[in-house]
Structure 1
Amino acid sequence: MSSSSASPASSSPTWDPRQYLRHAGPRTRPFQDLLARVPELPAHGRPARIADLGCGAGNVTALLAERWPQAHITGLDNSPEMLNAARPFAGPTAGGGRIDFGHADAADWVPGEPLDLIVSNALLQWVPDHADSFPAWTKALTPGGVFAFQVPGNFAAPSHALMRELGDSPRWRERLAGVLRGPVHVREPADYLTRLAGLGLTVDAWETTYCHVLTGEDPVLEWVKGTGLRPVLTALADDPAATGEFLTAYRDLLRRAYPPGPHGTVFPFRRIFVVARKER
């Protein structure tokens, strides 16, 4: 999922929808699991109004229309590449609702109208201090409205730790200074629960570790090239030789950390989920 913001120390990464969607199945499953825990939205005598913050390529936005076919759903992202990929999903939906898309930056986005659901899938890890926006976002919820999101919780996993260690090595330290993120932007489930409960919401927070089985050559590298590695690929985009050198070194580290097995390469991936409902 593309970011709606990057940290001040780095430029916003350039996104590649095709690379991101190479693992669309396992990437979509957490969003489906999140939606399964979202309760029925309040009825206010009109179709539900939904915002998908960090909509990416629009494929998960379309899942919202399956759950709430009459809803007016707006997907928001700051990536022109992702918004262009999402465009085919825009328009009337089969249930009489509609989907549209627009540009927004989650770092300063404030809802301009009451919303019945604000949902965000694998976005907030890119947004420093995103919990500081919770008061404004939840204030915009209608009575009984829901704020639901999931974020990766795997920043200590080898896939990310090795990337940071390589980026901080003497060869790359100066070139990639401030580009790679640590786990500081993502809170633990209990922290999110405490923050949102303090705003008067009823909160369901949990975590899940998926054991994805990936196939193909260097599948973990191909996965990360669609998400966590985007800042590095963006920073080195003007230097193909440096890009190739970094990818080769990182690939070799990943091969040792995630060796292929007889049924594929097992890629454990922890995610954090929160569903918070406003009182009616």
Structure 2
Amino acid sequence: MQNNAPQGNSNFHNIGAPQEISVFHMVGYLGTGLKLALSKECRLFVIIPIIINFVVLALGGYLVFQTISTFLQQYLDMLPEWLTFLSYILWLFLVLTIGFVFCYIFSTIATIIASPFYGLLAEKAEGVLRGAPFAAGSDDGIGAIVKDIPRILKRELQKMMYYIPRVIICLIITLIPGVNVIAPIAWFLLAAWMMCIQYVDYPYDNHKISFADMKKDLKQQRLASFAMGAVISLAMTVPILNLVIPPAAVCAGTKYFVEIQKRYDLNTALNN
């Protein structure tokens, strides 16, 4: 993929923290991301990820339904008739717990499969945001996608290796009596942080900015980063809407990246 926008500045991280971005901008960023995703410049790179999301989530939903139905039937067979009313309560409980877990797992799988297209989408969105549309002859076709697959998958693996130890910590917190009262908060904070990392990382990766430097930038905007991830996480729980939220979140993450870079540029100018 060819970037006509300015490349990441390797000196950014030696300048000092940029100006804080308001947490209240994050809902607006997702709205901006949705408009960008549906714009004529970007919509081509949105259609394929939406199809991928639909297929994977539909398959996941079917498997979840089958799993819950099988488990519930086996459980009900062991209950006396007068307790069959519990099936409705148990069904609701299983949908809310297993359903959310499977939804996250299959959303992650869909995101990994669609990640090459999301990289191109972030590139296009950045061109629109910077007012520098990409040239018609730029390397942004199927060849670019195929060429970048190894690098993109390596980056996705980095995210997974960062994520897994933190999931284990949250699981341990969940299993410890007394301490587990904070488990819902821990899970929500982890989900928000990882959602922000997932969708802001595409423009960083396009500019060959390292995963470590990307995390450093987000930590310098910690509250805004958590707010962005929380907004995306909540939007992802809405059926139907969650099909278009991933590409909208990619564009929102690109908007966030551009704003961070602008603040680094301003900070650089003030220090020169």
- TM-score of Structure 1 vs Structure 2, range by shorter chain: under 0.3
More helix by share: 2
RCO higher in structure (CA 8 A, sep ≥6): 2
User: So what's the TM-score if we normalise by structure 2?
Assistant: 0.22
What's the TM-score once normalised by structure 1's chain length?
0.22
Higher strand share goes to which structure? 1
